[in-house]
């Protein structure tokens, strides 16, 4: 008996595709903008990452690079 694996082709709606796009396509992330986004998102790094189209790890690395505290300052 021969087993074949079908190719997987997910079907996404246009609204889903639009929601996955970064809010700033092609724009460069700078320290001030990252800091503003962190305040806007109540220091939720996952939400910031979604908004700029990066991974959480990338946001964390930028925070370390630019000496932005990892936790919300009081």
pTM over 0.85: no
Domain ranges for the chain: 27-74
Which pLDDT does position 1 carry in this prediction?
A: 63
Query: pLDDT averaged over consecutive 10-residue blocks of the chain (74 residues)?
Result: 66 51 67 93 94 93 94 83
Q: Is the domain covering 27-74 a CATH 1.10.10 domain?
A: yes
Whole-number Å distance between alpha carbons of 45 and 14: 26
Which pLDDT does position 58 carry in this prediction?
A: 94
| Beta carbons of 38 and 48 less than 8 angstroms apart | yes
Which pLDDT does position 7 carry in this prediction?
A: 73
Which pLDDT does position 34 carry in this prediction?
A: 94
Which pLDDT does position 48 carry in this prediction?
A: 94
Residues in the chain, total: 74
């Amino acid at each position: 008996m021969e087993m074949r694996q079908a190719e997987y082709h997910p079907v996404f709606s246009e609204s889903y595709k639009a929601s996955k796009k970064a809010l700033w396509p092609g724009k460069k992330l700078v320290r001030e903008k990252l800091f503003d986004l962190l305040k806007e998102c109540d220091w939720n790094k996952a939400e910031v990452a979604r908004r700029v189209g990066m991974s959480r790890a990338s946001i964390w690395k930028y925070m370390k690079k630019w000496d932005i505290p990892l936790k919300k300052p009081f």
